[in-house]
Amino acid sequence: MASIKQNEISSSLPDFRNLGVMLRILLITNVAGLVAALIYQATISGVLREFIDISSKLQPILILSLLMLSAVNGWLHRVSYQLGVVLVIGLIAGITIVIYSLAHYLFGDALGLLERYLLFSTLITLLLLFYFRLRSRALSPALSEARLQALQARIRPHFLFNSLNAVLSLIRVDQKHAETALEDLADLFRVLMLDNNQLTTLAKEIELCRQYLNLEQLRLGDRLKLEWFVDKMPGDALIPPLILQPLLENAVYHGIEPSGEPGIISINIYLSRDQVHAVLTNPYRAEGDHHAGNKMAMANIRERLSLHYDAEAALDCRVKDNSYHVHIVIPYTKASKP
């Protein structure tokens, strides 16, 4: 599930089904329990005993709360932020009462006052909601848009000039082909100029990638060979725009251009266990002088994936058998029906 929705970043609850959100809730809640233990006890052994005691009572409430919030996550995001906050606090308080009542029935008065547990759970809930609110503001649309524009700016000016020159050379011999190339070029730069705040479908991203590679093949000819493995691709999957195209640009720039020999770029996209996998492979030459720029691009894309999916997305890059492999994994999500 997407960690943020760029059009609603600063005014929505966190995605309680997101792995990164769950891990943060677990970490912050247990840190709060440790702080409480430090307040109650003065010695290390006392703090350890107190923390174990707090955790034994805290974990059942925490785990059940995460399960319930995950179950009603979609519904919570359909109401206003203010109402969502009230509902979350009420849900946590209700779970606290249920767990306390059950434990009180089993263990008697050893648990202490219910008010103490309600106060602690409410304070932790407010702290978490405040933290996610601040985090969502930090990941505001303005910030992510600025980073997206910085990535788009990497489309090198000489690519435009080389493409236009290739089209000019075609006009004299194959006007139909030249016209198609100009349409591809216009479509590509039209997408680059759009306000790309919305997620796009994988099918549209692949169409854009094909148009880009068609233009590169105009000037590189037989030096650029392509292998497409997209039969198992979920075309309706939602992904951040311009995630794959810059990777293919890097593959051309770093893997094909430096050598006069033909090279193969392989694009393999498939669905496995509710995750979309994109594996891109291109020739690798260790003596090239472009690798610093490649690392910068990878860091930028990794950051964008983190903005959208938190800990649920992954980007792995490695060199194997004189080939450079990029493997992207993102959760499979598609547009909800109106």
Global pTM reads 0.67
Mean per-residue pLDDT of the chain? 80
What does the pLDDT read at residue 288?
54
What does the pLDDT read at residue 196?
53
Name the 3-class secondary structure at 18.
coil
Residues 320 and 283: beta-carbon distance below 8 Å: no
For residue 193, the tally of other CB atoms under 10 A from its CB is 9
Lowest mean pLDDT among 32-36, 132-136, 312-316: 132-136
Measure the CA–CA gap between 242 and 238, rounded to whole angstroms.
Answer: 12
Does residue 7 carry a pLDDT above 50? no
Measure the CA–CA gap between 307 and 240, rounded to whole angstroms.
Answer: 10
Name the 3-class secondary structure at 41.
coil
Tell the residue number behind the tokens 């860091």, with chain if given: 299
Name the 3-class secondary structure at 14.
coil
Q: What is the pLDDT of residues 40-77, one digit of tens each?
A: 887 888 888 888 888 888 888 899 999 999 899 888 88
- Output the DSSP codes for 180-244: HHHHHHHHHHHHHHS---S-EEHHHHHHHHHHHHHHHHHHHGGGEEEEEE-TT--TTBEE-TTSH
Cβ neighbours of residue 276 closer than 8 Å, sequence gap 6 or more? 202, 234, 237, 239, 269, 270, 328, 329, 330, 331, 332
The predicted model gives 24-31 an average pLDDT of 90
- Output the DSSP codes for 97-116: HHHHHHHHHHHGGGG--HHH
What does the pLDDT read at residue 140?
60
Band of pLDDT at residue 197, cut at 50, 70 and 90? low
Q: What is the pLDDT of residues 133-186, one digit of tens each?
A: 888 777 665 555 555 555 555 555 556 666 677 777 667 777 777 778 787 777
Closest CA to 293 of 194, 153, 193, 191: 153
Residues 284 and 294: beta-carbon distance below 8 Å: no
Percent of the chain with pLDDT over 90: 20
Q: What is the pLDDT of residues 66-114, one digit of tens each?
A: 999 989 988 888 888 889 899 999 999 999 898 888 877 776 655 567 7
Band of pLDDT at residue 208, cut at 50, 70 and 90? confident
Band of pLDDT at residue 8, cut at 50, 70 and 90? very low
What does the pLDDT read at residue 291?
53
Does residue 275 carry a pLDDT above 90? yes
Cβ neighbours of residue 160 closer than 8 Å, sequence gap 6 or more? 185, 189
Residues 183 and 215: beta-carbon distance below 8 Å: no
The predicted model gives 202-207 an average pLDDT of 90
Domains of the chain: 6-139 (no CATH), 142-331 (3.30.565.10)
